[in-house]
């Protein structure tokens, strides 16, 4: 089979590799469409170390091609979206349901080979059946959508509340839609004005480009009170954390999902004085089914996010496109 194999930073080659065989409890999936994200880019660029050679890619949809011993579902020919993280299942964290926090978690496309290939071997328990009426393109972003579903749940957003989303990338534009589905009024805040029109189309009632005036005033105008009830941070920068704290009202909640690796300077006095609840949100626990439901029910539109499409052989062009300002989600077709 063909696979895009990464041999070192920026050294990716499409090669013929051995056809994967499913072991006990595993299936082999023929990839129909895969999404490329910032994590893949940081692996490609050598910023995030992996063991080489490695096949990247963790956002994908496909059809089950072969099943290993002991697998009852999915069956051969089933269309599936993949939950690309699996935990050990036996540690205290896993047993108490915190499998996203498992210290022995395996990430497909990072710790083991992923979906920038024709075929991928995955545990059967990572497969989620795709409803017949839903197209592959629509569920290609189920993985980032599950991240957002959890973030919004961690923020305990209720109908009638006001919420702000910081960052208008894939996660931010999905967060706008999930918040809308929960009945919140949404303010989308981005460092660039470029995505704000799309943000409006996808349900943001208000939008704001960061350099245009103080965020506190915007949040007050939008909420009609001291700030918004909940902020979902998706931008992954130190700056975004301070933006989130500027937008939230006293007593409000801030959910951090963007994984800023850099040290972040925060005036914690304002957190104490205003009793802000700051929570982290790490990938997903049981949010895949809800992510699929939101897409199938039409509450979340994913196609406007797919801005580029490349064949697997053009993977280097796909990575270049990912860095273009106009790109939101780049798709690879093996």
Residues that bind Zn ion (CB under 5 A): 37, 39, 87-88, 91, 94, 102
Closest CB to Zn ion among residues 145, 246:
145
In angstroms, give the least distance from the CB of 58 to Zn ion: 6
In angstroms, give the least distance from the CB of 170 to Zn ion: 8
Count of alpha carbons within 13 angstroms of residue 167, beta-carbon side: 27
In angstroms, give the least distance from the CB of 185 to Zn ion: 28
Closest CB to Zn ion among residues 94, 202:
94
In angstroms, give the least distance from the CB of 35 to Zn ion: 7
Closest CB to Zn ion among residues 87, 242:
87
Closest CB to Zn ion among residues 87, 177:
87
In angstroms, give the least distance from the CB of 40 to Zn ion: 7
Angle, helices 215-223/238-247, rounded to nearest 10 degrees: 40
CA-based Rg of the chain, rounded to a whole angstrom?
Answer: 20
Closest CB to Zn ion among residues 91, 112:
91
Nearest one of 223, 226, 188, 229 to 209, comparing CA atoms: 188
Closest CB to Zn ion among residues 87, 206:
87
Give me the DSSP letters along 226-259: SSEEEEEE-S-SHHHHHHHHHHEEEEEEEEE-S-
- 48-59 in b/e form (b: 16+ CB < 10 A) is eebeebbbbbbb
In angstroms, give the least distance from the CB of 89 to Zn ion: 6
CB 24 within 8 A of CB 15: no
Distance CA(302)–CA(300), nearest Å, equals 6
CB 162 within 8 A of CB 220: no
């Amino acid at each position: 089979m063909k696979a895009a194999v990464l041999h070192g930073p920026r050294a990716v080659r499409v090669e013929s590799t051995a056809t994967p065989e499913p072991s006990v409890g595993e299936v082999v999936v023929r990839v129909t469409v895969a999404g490329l994200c910032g994590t893949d880019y940081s692996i490609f660029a050598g910023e995030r170390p992996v063991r080489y050679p490695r096949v990247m890619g963790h956002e994908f949809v496909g059809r089950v091609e072969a099943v290993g011993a002991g697998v009852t579902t999915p069956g051969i020919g089933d269309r599936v979206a993949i939950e690309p993280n699996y935990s050990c299942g036996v540690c205290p964290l896993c047993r108490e349901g915190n499998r996203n926090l498992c210290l022995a978690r395996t990430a497909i496309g990072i710790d083991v080979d992923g979906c920038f290939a024709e075929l991928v071997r995955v545990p059967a328990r990572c497969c989620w059946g795709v409803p017949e009426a839903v197209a592959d393109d629509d569920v290609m972003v189920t993985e980032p959508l599950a991240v957002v579903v959890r973030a919004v749940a961690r923020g305990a957003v209720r109908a009638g509340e006001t919420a702000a989303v910081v960052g208008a990338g894939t996660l931010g534009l999905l967060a706008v839609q999930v918040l809308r589905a929960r009945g919140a009024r949404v303010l989308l805040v981005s460092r660039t004005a470029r995505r704000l029109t799309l943000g409006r189309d996808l349900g943001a009632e208000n939008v704001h480009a960061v350099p245009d005036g103080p965020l506190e005033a915007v949040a007050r105008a939008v909420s009609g009170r001291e700030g918004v009830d909940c902020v979902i941070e998706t931008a992954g920068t130190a700056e975004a954390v301070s933006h989130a704290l500027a937008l939230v009202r006293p007593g409000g909640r801030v959910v951090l999902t963007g994984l800023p690796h850099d040290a972040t300077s925060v005036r914690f006095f304002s957190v104490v004085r205003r009793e802000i609840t700051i929570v982290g949100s790490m990938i997903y626990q049981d949010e895949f089914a809800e992510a699929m439901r939101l897409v199938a029910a039409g509450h979340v539109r994913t196609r406007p996010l797919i801005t580029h499409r490349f064949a697997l052989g053009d993977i280097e062009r796909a990575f270049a496109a990912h860095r273009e300002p106009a790109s939101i989600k780049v798709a690879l077709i093996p």
